[in-house]
Amino acid sequence: MNTTGDTTREEGKKNLNFIETMVENDLKEGRNGKRVHTRFPPEPNGYLHIGHAKAICLDFGLAQRYGGKCNLRFDDTNPVKEDTEYVDSIMEDIHWLGFDWEDRLYYASDYFGQLWNFAVDLIKKGLAYVDDQPAEVISRQKGTPTQPGTESPYRTRSTAENLDLFERMNQGEFEEGSRVLRAKIDMTSPNMHMRDPIIYRIINHPHHRTGSAWKVYPMYDFAHGQCDYFEGITHSWCTLEFEVHRPLYDWFIDQLKDSDYRPRQTEFNRLNLTYTVMSKRKLLQLVKENYVNGWDDPRMPTLCGLRRRGYTPESIKSFIDKIGYTKFEAVNDVALLESAVRDDLNIRAPRVSTVLDPVKLIVTNYPEGQIELMEAVNNPEDESMGSHEIAFTQELFIEREDFMENPPKKYFRMTPGQEVRLKNAYIVKCTGCEKNETTGKIEKIYCEYDPQTRSGMPEANRKVKGTLHWVSTAHSLEAEVRLYDRLFCVENPNEDKDIDFRSLLNPDSLKILKNCRVEQELAKAKVSDKFQFQRLGYFSVDPDSEKEGRLIFNRIVPLKDSWSKTVK
């Protein structure tokens, strides 16, 4: 194994976070034979969300950086909620982020036999017993953080009876919920998790991997730490809510271990995002109740949703890197994620011209039937991306909102008597408009171009305050554009437990524009290709495009900084 690894951070990043510091110390002290072995342990009961990406970047990312390994382990201890659909999607999402578990794909269910044997050992040592009481009674006897619990009347059962009952629980002899196996620890412990926790329960539901081989299933708390141990995990990172479970995990390992080695658990703060929910239960509810169009709805914080929306793995990783890992819970501003994708696409996405709400602009002094191919730079941030051609003709489309007949002062866009620049083409002066006689809606705008101001000519440098984007009516294509807004109306839909989170959904989170026009260059666009629509934002080709054989774009984020500033 490569134990030297690359123990230095990339340049420009000076501070180690507390977990990195810990790993570096462990390596310096030669702990675990200088091994760094982590795992990412999702429960296959939903799709991964951006919060999971934070755990993935740590588990896989740090293992990679320190020359270690990271296992993928599905914590499939609850057959009722789990499914292979989730298993497949989780693997796809981890790969998409750029990580790989090589040949180390495991399932907690791989260890059901070992866990069973361990439970039997605990019984034999007098450290576990079968409790016949219903769940409510067991829960009532747990006490409160300030009041000790009450011991179960079954706590003193003989080893022989416990072994017999546990075996029969697994033979399917008893009803679900009628008996459980509990660890015998301490009903007066100040840590509620140590008060004789349930470690096995009866579940009559086939498991997605083990079928109906088992009738009893280990609790997550009884599986997680031991699986880490079985796999030789050195660093077990999880979110803060598991801190109080740690003494229990350690207690189990104390009963199990036969050497000095033990996995070390360290907790970090969860990723929470403003204007969304992150709990898998709630996300599932949004999907099941059709508040969104599936797990990959581009408004969802799921990785497949973000991917479909057009987010890049790089932008997600850069966002996670920025928010960092601490011991303090916080809600992260979604604007930070948006700025990360803007930064990423700013350097990568070609600029194209598209009109979302088209109105005709007629250049009256431009020869009818003439076509000029104008040069459009693909990305001013990166010359190597070259340029493409855009056709200029007498009839164009511009954005309806870029024209005003009677504008307020300091209006720099199209208005009668005023000059504006048409990006990459000419300076034009508006001469008037034509309205629908009954509705008053503007149907055509007229202008004259100045032939001396073609882009690149000296006169083109004439000072004009507004620059507008446009497409040729004849040389553009129809497209559908889907605009997304926040999924929820409030920053933190989880804040008030008495309010149903579904009532806080933003009714205007999806707006579909059917009659948009995009420049011909986009005929070549493939699913997931990303573009900057000039002055409008970053957009990605939706998979429906391929399915339906027409152009459909998702808006990833609107633009913040661009030359549109001069006109807005």
Give the nearest distance from C-beta 239 to ligand ATP in angstroms.
Answer: 4
Pick 41 or 350: Cβ nearer ligand ATP: 41
Task: Select the residue interacting with ligand ATP from 20, 27, 35, 51 (CB under 6 A).
Answer: 51
Residue list 108-137, contact with ligand ATP (CB under 6 A): none
Q: Under the criterion CB under 6 A, does residue 430 sit at the interface with ligand ATP?
A: no
Q: Please give the sequence-ordered ranges of beta strands (E in DSSP) within 485-558, or none if there are none.
A: 510-519, 530-533, 537-541, 551-558
Residue 285, token pair as written in the block: 């509810």
- Over the Cα atoms of the chain, what is R_g? 31
Q: Under the criterion CB under 6 A, does residue 238 sit at the interface with ligand ATP?
A: yes
Are 322 and 297 a contacting pair, CB within 8 Å? no
Give the nearest distance from C-beta 285 to ligand ATP in angstroms.
Answer: 12
- The residues assigned a catalytic role are 43, 270, 280
Pick 207 or 482: Cβ nearer ligand ATP: 207
For residues 117 and 126, what is the distance between their CA atoms, to the nearest angstrom? 14
Pick 279 or 364: Cβ nearer ligand ATP: 279
Give the nearest distance from C-beta 10 to ligand ATP in angstroms.
Answer: 22
Give the nearest distance from C-beta 315 to ligand ATP in angstroms.
Answer: 17
Pick 78 or 152: Cβ nearer ligand ATP: 78
For residues 526 and 529, what is the distance between their CA atoms, to the nearest angstrom? 6
Nearest-CA neighbor of 108 among 233, 295, 275? 233
The DSSP secondary-structure symbol of 302 reads B
Residue 345, token pair as written in the block: 């696409």
Q: Under the criterion CB under 6 A, does residue 52 sit at the interface with ligand ATP?
A: yes
Give the nearest distance from C-beta 245 to ligand ATP in angstroms.
Answer: 11
CA angle, 301 as apex, 298 and 303 as ends, to 5°?
A: 80
Q: Under the criterion CB under 6 A, does residue 310 sit at the interface with ligand ATP?
A: no
Nearest-CA neighbor of 255 among 201, 192, 195, 185? 185
Q: Please give the sequence-ordered ranges of beta strands (E in DSSP) within 349-502, or none if there are none.
A: 351-352, 354-355, 358-363, 372-377, 387-392, 395-399, 419-422, 427-435, 442-449, 467-468, 471-472, 476-484
For residues 88 and 65, what is the distance between their CA atoms, to the nearest angstrom? 26
Give the nearest distance from C-beta 508 to ligand ATP in angstroms.
Answer: 26
Pick 252 or 470: Cβ nearer ligand ATP: 252
* Helix, coil or strand: residue 531: strand
Pick 55 or 123: Cβ nearer ligand ATP: 55
Give the nearest distance from C-beta 278 to ligand ATP in angstroms.
Answer: 5
Task: Select the residue interacting with ligand ATP from 31, 35, 37, 54 (CB under 6 A).
Answer: 54
Nearest-CA neighbor of 442 among 533, 349, 359, 565? 359
Taking CB under 6 A as the rule, which mask of x and - marks residues 258-297 in contact with ligand ATP? ------------xx------xxx-----------------
Residue 173, token pair as written in the block: 């002899």
Determine the residue with CB nearest ligand ATP.
51
Give the nearest distance from C-beta 260 to ligand ATP in angstroms.
Answer: 25
Are 259 and 25 a contacting pair, CB within 8 Å? no
Task: Select the residue interacting with ligand ATP from 23, 27, 36, 55 (CB under 6 A).
Answer: 55
42-to-97, 162, 235, 268, 288 alpha-carbon distances in Å: 15, 32, 16, 16, 21
* Helix, coil or strand: residue 305: helix
Q: Under the criterion CB under 6 A, does residue 555 sit at the interface with ligand ATP?
A: no
Pick 49 or 309: Cβ nearer ligand ATP: 49
The DSSP secondary-structure symbol of 273 reads B
Pick 20 or 402: Cβ nearer ligand ATP: 20
* Number of amino acids touching ligand ATP (CB under 6 A): 14
Residue 22, token pair as written in the block: 């810990």
Residue list 26-45, contact with ligand ATP (CB under 6 A): 41-43
What does the binding site for ligand ATP look like in residue numbers (CB under 6 A)?
41-43, 51-52, 54-55, 238-239, 270-271, 278-280
